[in-house]
Chains A and B, each alone.
Chain A
Amino acid sequence: MAEALFQISEPGQSRVKAACTPGFSRAVGIDLGTTNSLVAMVQNGKPVALADDGGDAIVPSVVHYASDGDVIVGSAARDLFAPVFPSDTIASAKRFVGRGPRDAEATRKLTPYVFAPASAGESENVVRFAVAGERAVTPIEVSAEILRVLKARAEAALGTTLDGAVITVPAYFDDGQRQATRDAGRLAGLEVLRLLNEPTAAALAYGLDKQAEGTFAVFDLGGGTFDVSILKLEAGVFEVKATGGDSALGGDDFDRAIAAALLAQLGLPADAGGDRKLTRRVLDAARALKHALTDAAEASVDVAVGDSVTTLRLSRDEMEALVRPVLGRCAPSVRRALKDAGTEPAALSGVILVGGATRMPLVRRFVKELFGHEPLSDIDPDQVVALGAAVQADILAGEGRDDVLLLDVVPLSLGLETMGGVVEKLIHRNTTVPCGATQTFTTYADKQTGFDLHVVQGEREMVDEVRSLARFKLSGIPPMPAGLARLEVTFLVDADGLLKVTAREESTGQEASIQVKPSYGLTDEEVERMLLDSFAHAESDVKTRLLAEQRVEAKRILGALHAATADTPELLTDDDRRAIALAQAALDGAVVGEDANAIRAAVEDLDRASKPFAERRMNRALESGLRGRDVGAVEAKVAETESKTDLKTRVDAHQGHRHG
């Protein structure tokens, strides 16, 4: 128990031993989630999520950027650093992937982040977070850090390098968001075998495990995205009939709705007065309450504001009233997906639940009402996506199985802007991929020598109402009267759901040049530059990678210990001080060396030396009423050094009678 204070699950500690023998895949499936991420691989013919030493498969999708340039990923970043350095610790980066600064505005009302403008020569339509060390990082880079940790965990488990990875994306991600996710994989040094839609991955895991046949709906409500897919499972073919959703709707929005009510209870303005630490604290309190209310009928949380601590109470009924309107936004997408699939709820064989938010009793009732089916959740909704991705990785990596085939679709229509800002759709939503379409355009002015093409995605008719994907310039057309030049534009969507556009001028047979400039995301040159700049990329072999991980781990332990001793010096005996000082000096020495095992041993020594102290702290925490439900909250308390505005989060789950 005491070790829980410092031994939070860390990816680098992963020691899952998997012999590299035939039958073991060297390709992994990665669920890169808004809140949590996982990596899984097929072992002995079955997909398995890779856990750390503590048995924890989940890596929180939280990245902390320290002022000295270090990057810390996972629960340490979430629990230790986010409360103290809210704007240097990025959670939910996925919400910003492939999005522009204007999209980020939507969350600006209650955000712990500081957004930075683009520097000269950088893509302007990319969100940039200003973090410690005067750096600006894009959501792509933040995602790449998470992927690096998962890659290292998998390589440690395999004892060798990876052949490649299947990374999952929300089915409703547009092309820009998909390209950005692929770029993140490249930055992390992964060969991305496929981008796989999350609900499809879940259906794959579920269908194979349960030998299910029939038409199923997958209701996937994660931290930041909502997807619904209708699939037909038959004789090993998983055919997506239709998909729908909202790539900006998830559990995070529930937290924000609850946080808004908490701020009102505290008599504070909706933006928490611009106080980033308070914002982070209130959001964390909202999340803690939401989790507690999954099982309890009532819960309370203590939030410190200024010098005073206020206990905020919330019942499940009250929370459900706050969350219900947000959840209701799922309904139109579900109805449309059913219609597009040409089916109705009664014709479904079942509804599969995916995503952490589907643990909420309210969400389960909502799904049951919507579909008229008791939802299926017998595979862990947190793991099912990664498990399905691992199966697809196994299929794609070769030698694997040919008994399974996935047929997925384009989630949103793809088209071109034509005269007057009207969108001409070339590929309609829910078309099975891979697919293509060709359209011929002509010049509208005499002696016109170039075409400006604007590629867009969305269902609406006007260009202002759909998403801009890219702008092309096709030039070098010889001057001709209007209407004579014939421009053939071809759209091709590959099995990843990624769009490629080519254009050529036909009448003269002359090849024309094409310039591509993505509207969102990074240019190829920018990604290349980041790859070159990326220090971690140079350390692609497992050994160096593990060394770096151990250094981060050591730093984290030292930081936590420092915070803890500053917080409760009265709990330190002289023996403790001596033992800790010795172990700390040894660790300081090991960290500057090159031996990962030596660092690990020194970390373990320090952990042993500080164990009596840690136990006393834990006992005190327990005495002061902690129910042990939320270790993260304790960590937050440990890490918070500024005692005045300390977050003394205490979640009491009053187990009461359940509401139907």
Chain B
Amino acid sequence: MICWSCEKDAGNEALCASCGAPQAISTHGAARDHFAVLGVERRYDLDVAMLESRYKELSRKLHPDRFAKGDPRARKAALQRTVELNEAWRALKDPMKRATYLLELGGVKIATDDGGARSGGVAASPALLMEMLELREELGDARAARDDAKVRAMGEAMKARAARSEAAVAAALAGTPTREALEGAARELVALRYYARFLDEVTAHEDAAAARAEASHG
């Protein structure tokens, strides 16, 4: 790539290797993956504090605010690069999102919510679906009865279950995972999606309870 600013070889990084001007993302060739954007190794067990300081260091250099009064080409490139950087940070900072992304890079697809089997990829087993359906029903009954203690207990149990799944994902993805390990992690991630939706409902109940308490205050 030739730099628009100094007309020398810019290299392949966001900032020109010769003059430091921000470079637009090339429309040719494959897009860089999120790990490459943040300049870190492609692996699951990353140090999040390291990742964060990397993100902030790059933000300081690339953010459009740095080029607010600069050449329009610099501003446009900085905007593009920062969008790319923010997306990478968002995808990698959360361990489960990072895991999902690693599976995607490894060619293991997770079925989308609405698509089910139609969209292909690893989907929830009928047994899990049935179990979650029953648990949601039970939760719904407890909510309707305003049984706050029961809702809390069910939430705690689900949190513990989610934590076990997360640990299983982490174990499966440690080091250089095999195809089998990737598929195992995918099944856990699918289950985690259902757990998360269950926990969202618990939170919704707690918020509603808090709002009720708030309304009767004073």
Where the two chains meet, the residues of A that have a C-beta atom closer than 8 Å to any C-beta of B are 193-194, 234-235, 237, 239, 321, 324-325, 328, 331-332, 335-336, 339, 395-398, 402, 405-407, 431-436, 492, 494-495
Contacts and interface: CB of A to CB of B under 8 A. Distances in A.
Contacts of B83: 434-436, 492
B17 to A, nearest CB: 20
Contacts of B217: 324, 328
Contact of B59 (A194, A237, A321, A324): A237
A279 to B, nearest CB: 27
B60 A405 contact: yes
A434 B207 contact: no
B65 interface: yes
Interface in B35-74: 56, 59-60, 63-66, 68-69
Nearest to A336: B207
A325 B213 CA distance: 11
Interface in B169-218: 203, 207, 210-211, 214-215, 217-218
Contact of B56 (A235, A331, A431): A235
Nearest to A324: B218
Interface stretch (B84-92, B125-133, B144-152): B84-92
Given A405-B65, A434-B64, A435-B87, A339 B203 contact: yes
A436 to B, nearest CB: 5
B82 interface: yes
A431 B86 contact: yes
A639 to B, nearest CB: 38
B82 A331 contact: no
A434 B211 contact: no
Contacts of A492: 83
Question: What are the 7 closest A-B residue pairs judged by CB atoms, nearest first?
Answer: A396-B68, A398-B69, A328-B214, A436-B83, A432-B86, A324-B218, A237-B56
Given A339-B203, A434-B79, A405 B86 contact: no
Contacts of A495: 63-65, 79, 82
A432 B65 contact: no
Interface of B: 56, 59-60, 63-66, 68-69, 79, 82-83, 86-87, 89-90, 203, 207, 210-211, 214-215, 217-218
Given A336-B207, A434-B79, A331 B214 contact: yes
Contacts of B79: 434, 494-495
A434 B77 CA distance: 12
27 contacts: A194-B68, A234-B56, A237-B60, A324-B218, A325-B215, A325-B218, A328-B215, A331-B210, A331-B214, A332-B207, A335-B210, A396-B68, A398-B68, A405-B56, A431-B86, A432-B89, A432-B90, A433-B86, A434-B64, A434-B82, A434-B83, A435-B90, A436-B83, A436-B87, A494-B79, A495-B63, A495-B65
Contact of A402 (B56, B66, B90): B66
A174 to B, nearest CB: 21
B90 A431 contact: yes
A165 to B, nearest CB: 13
Given A397-B69, A495-B64, 10 more contacts: A194-B68, A237-B59, A237-B60, A331-B210, A396-B68, A398-B69, A406-B65, A431-B90, A434-B64, A435-B87
A367 to B, nearest CB: 14
A144 to B, nearest CB: 23
B88 to A, nearest CB: 11
Contacts of B86: 431-435
Contacts of A328: 214-215, 217
A494 B63 CA distance: 11
B14 to A, nearest CB: 14
Nearest to A409: B86
A397 B68 CA distance: 7
Given A432-B90, A436-B83, A405 B59 contact: yes
Contacts of A432: 86, 89-90
B162 to A, nearest CB: 15
Given A335-B207, A396-B69, A405 B214 contact: no
A422 to B, nearest CB: 10
A208 to B, nearest CB: 15
A494 B217 CA distance: 41
Contacts of B65: 395-396, 405-406, 495
A569 to B, nearest CB: 51
A461 to B, nearest CB: 13
A235 B64 CA distance: 19
A560 B64 CA distance: 50
Contacts of B214: 328, 331-332
Contacts of A339: 203
Contacts of B59: 237, 405, 407
A280 to B, nearest CB: 29
A498 to B, nearest CB: 12
Nearest to B64: A495
